[in-house]
Amino acid sequence: MKIYRVCLHSTYSVVEHQYESHDGPRDHKVLTREKFSIANKILSLADIYSALMIDKPYRSSCDRALLSSNIQNQTPRWLEAEFIKNLIEIKKFENSQYVI
């Protein structure tokens, strides 16, 4: 039972700050860049990716060919370029003929 509490606490702290911004708070809490964990950054990038790649009632999903430029333009400045580069490389690999 104790391990579940540790996992839930870790997950809660990541999700709690999912929509924080370094350009100004979207909520009552403000995290500095140094306190914004890697898990928070990955979750934020995943949120942006899914927002671009999933059909919405008011718009179609992003064309995969435009993913790279769209995600770079719509990603907050504080999110490291390395995260974006890795996501784009993963998606290129998944779409290649070498995927098993």
Upper half-sphere CA count for residue 67 (Cβ side, 13 Å): 23
pLDDT at 62: 78
- State CA 2 to chain mean position distance: 29
pLDDT, tens only, 14-58:
666 666 655 555 554 555 666 677 777 777 777 777 777 788 888
Instruction: From 49, 43, 33, select the one nearest 11 (Cα to Cα).
Output: 43
Q: Which two tokens stand for residue 34?
A: 């140094």
Q: pTM higher than 0.95, yes or no?
A: no
